[in-house]
Amino acid sequence: MAAAAAAALRAWFWNERFWLPHNVTWADLAGEPGPPGSELQYPRAAHVLSAFPLALGIFAVRLLFERFIAKPCAINLGIQDSGPHRAQPNAILEKVFTSITKSPDGKRLEGLSKQLDWDVRKIQRWFRHRRNQDKPTTLTKFCESMWRFTFYFSIFSYGIRFLWTAPWFWDTRQCWYNYPFQPLTSRLYYYYILELAFYWSLMFSQFTDIKRKDFLIMFVHHLATIGLITFSYMNNMVRVGTLVLCLHDASDFLLEAAKLANYAKYQRLCDAFFMLFGVVFIVTRLGIYPFWILNTTLFESWELIGPYPSWWLFNGLLVTLQVLHVIWSYLIIRTASKALVRGKVSKDDRSDVESSSEEEDVTSNSTKGIFSTSSNGSNRLNGHMAGGQWTGEE
């Protein structure tokens, strides 16, 4: 009974009329597209499973990279592994902090003041120090950003080098000629699976990384990215998929470079990298993406292969992504304009553990620039950026 149910579910999920164009079956894609021994093949659903061990390998490389490369670089730049001021041990306040609230209101502060015979301001200071105590050090954040910068820059460089010789990079109609009977080359396979494995590694590491206020948003972002990469691979839309991946990688490493410069206190370099990031982001997401990527997925593919169910889903996801691009670009332009007025890129408060008391923890001389936000921390850009401060206390 269970076997029959599983077989029915499998048949429903892999329905050819959903996944493939008309008059194409899975059997048509089961053979080798080239002569025997050519090592050419079509994408297989089982291929995506290889991303899991590779993701664990990437995570292990990251740990080694942060310890033996990023950390020495940070120390050479004068970034110390010193945390914030630790709160004075107090069992009563610690119980309130861990079990009730991290930001007590006025009534609770008055009650604690009478119970401990402490001044209210002293108790407020204790809670502020206790919250800051959970924040990661600048060294930790530097190492994380250096790893991301290294990977994003490396994968973008590989992608550009690979696509430079790909015919569909110069003529997007090549993405659809003879579709879905397009062989998968080894370089294309490694590029796609490596990107997929990296996002799986981000999913794993999110539970051990710096705890950010946009944890859930980032979790959904990574999950959606993994879903889109996996879906396009199994549907053999990998040619246009490589264009989407490379386009999105073009700006990510610039943002990480801005963070590195900020952590190292090279403010002008930080400002320059962020402005460059903003320009590249807007040009690629509002210019190249809709007029190059969406044009080929919506119009050229319609002309050459025609629509079918998974085609609608794929394009629906890509159009949704474009809507997010518009929102993120608006936030970048708005925050960049604030920076031009204030003259400084400020810090990234996604690295802060708490969210409700963020404004209280920023010292009076902290400057708020490109990443300033309202007290509810509502600004979120591309799963990478959020409103607030870059690095904590200056």
- Give residue 331's pLDDT: 87
Distance CA 64, CA 57 (A): 11
- What confidence category does residue 290 fall into, taking pLDDT thresholds of 50, 70 and 90? very high
- Model pTM? 0.80
Question: What beta strand segments (E) does the chain contain?
Answer: 380-381, 385-386
- Give residue 143's pLDDT: 95
Residue type, 66: E
Going by the DSSP 8-state scheme, the letter that residue 351 receives in this structure is: G
- Specify the higher pLDDT residue, 373 or 173: 173
Domains of the chain, each with CATH number or no CATH: 42-77+136-348 (no CATH), 91-134 (1.10.10.60)
Distance CA 221, CA 212 (A): 14
Which residues make Cβ contacts (< 8 Å) with residue 32, sequence separation at least 6? 38, 40, 41
Query: 246 and 159 in contact (C-beta within 8 Å)?
Result: yes
Tens digit of pLDDT for each residue in 110-146? 999 888 989 889 888 888 888 887 778 899 999 999 9
- Give residue 31's pLDDT: 74
Tens digit of pLDDT for each residue in 305-325? 999 999 999 999 899 889 889
SS3 call for 385 = strand
- Give residue 83's pLDDT: 66
Distance CA 278, CA 270 (A): 12
Residue range 27-52: mean pLDDT, rounded? 80
- What confidence category does residue 208 fall into, taking pLDDT thresholds of 50, 70 and 90? confident
Query: 130 and 87 in contact (C-beta within 8 Å)?
Result: yes
Tens digit of pLDDT for each residue in 326-380? 988 998 898 888 877 876 555 544 444 343 333 333 333 333 344 433 333 333 3
Least confident of 33-37, 69-73, 211-215, 270-274: 33-37
Please check the confidence at residue 206 and state whether its pLDDT lies above 70.
yes
Distance CA 269, CA 392 (A): 19
- Give residue 210's pLDDT: 65
Query: 387 and 371 in contact (C-beta within 8 Å)?
Result: yes
pLDDT-above-70 percentage for the chain: 83
- What confidence category does residue 163 fall into, taking pLDDT thresholds of 50, 70 and 90? very high
- Specify the higher pLDDT residue, 55 or 130: 55
- Specify the higher pLDDT residue, 297 or 342: 297
Please check the confidence at residue 16 and state whether its pLDDT lies above 50.
yes
